[in-house]
Amino acid sequence: MVEISQCLLNPGDVCLVPDPGYPDYWSGVALAGAEMSFMPLLAKNGFLPDYKALDPEAVKRAKLMFLNYPNNPTAATASREFYEETVAFARENGVVVASDFAYGALGFDDVKPISFLETPGAKEVGVEFYTLSKTYNMAGWRVGFALGNSQIVEMINLIQDHYYCSLFGGIQEAAAEALTGPQQSVEELVATYERRRNTLYDALASIGWHADKPAGSFFCWLPVPAGYTSMEFSDLLLEKADIVVAPGNGFGTSGEGYVRLGLLAPESRLREAAERIGRLGLHFRNEPAKAAQRST
C-alpha cells in the first residue's frame, strides 16, 4: 500500500485519503512527493466518503484513492451500492482505487463484508490489498498480496522486486496452507471477536456510554464525553483508570471527538474496563445512529 503511491503518483499529483484513516497511506504519498486531499468519514454518512462533497479541483488532479472497509478506525462496512458509486466515480475522474481489505474476514451478525472486487468494473479501475495478519493472526510474518487491475499489479511487482528480494519460503508455504486449508479457525476467530464486541457494548451501555456496534474489524469507534478532546479523554483513561485507547485525532482531523478501542482482551477484562470507566462518573456524548448507507 505504500508502494502503490510510488508507482502511480508524481509531485503535483493528488491522492484522495480517508479521514480518519490508516496513517501508512500518508507515508506512501509523502514518499512519492505527492499531495493528499482528505475525504471526511462522518457518522451521518455511515463513515463513507461523500464523493459529491469533495473539492472539485482536488478531484481533477487526483490519480489515486484509498478506501478501507471494514474500516480502521471507525469499524464501518461498505455496501454494494457504495462500491458501484465508487467504480463510477473512478471511471469518470480517472482515479485508481486502492482498496485495503485487511479486515475482510471479520464481519459480524452473519454478514460477510463485501470486497470491492465483487463490483462490476472494479478490476478495470483498481486493486485490492489483503493481508494474512488479521484473518490468520500472522501479523509478524508480514505476508499479503494485491489483486485486480493487471497493469497496476505489474507495477507493484516491479518496485517490490527492487525493494525486497523475496519472502522466506516457509512463510509462503504457511500462507498457502492458511488460505487453502480448513477455515474453521477463521470462523472461531470471528465468533470470538463478536462475543467480545457484544460483551463490551453491553457493559458500556450499563454505564451510559452508547454507540452503534461495529459491523466488522476488531475495533470500536466511540464518541468521547462532552467537554473532552480525544487526547484529553485518552489521557484521563490512562491516568485515572489505567486503560489505554487510541485518540481519534491520531487518524486524521475528522477523528477528533472519538477514541478507538480494540477487542483484543478477554471478555472479563473488557467488562472490567467498562467498570473502571464507569467509576469515573462521566457524562457521555452518545453518537446518533448511523445514517443509512447511500445508494446511487
**Residue-by-residue DSSP string for 148-167:** E-HHHHHHHHHHHHHH-S--
Compute CA distances 70 → 23, 157, 217, whole Å. Answer: 16, 26, 6
Residues of the chain with pLDDT under 70: 286-296
Compute CA distances 277 → 101, 173, 205, 287, 293, whole Å. Answer: 32, 45, 12, 18, 32
Burial of 286 (0-12, 13-18, 19+ CB in 10 A): middle
Which 3 state secondary structure label does DSSP give 129? strand
Q: Is 13 left (phi over 0), alpha (psi -120 to 50) or beta?
A: beta
Q: Tell me how far the alpha carbon of residue 90 is from its chain's centroid.
A: 20
Quote the pLDDT of residue 290: 52
Separation CA 142–CA 149 (nearest Å): 23
Dihedral pair phi/psi, residue 220, rounded to 5°: -130, 135
Would you say the pTM of this structure is higher than 0.85?
yes
Nearest CA among 41, 67, 39, 66 for reference residue 55: 39
Quote the pLDDT of residue 287: 60
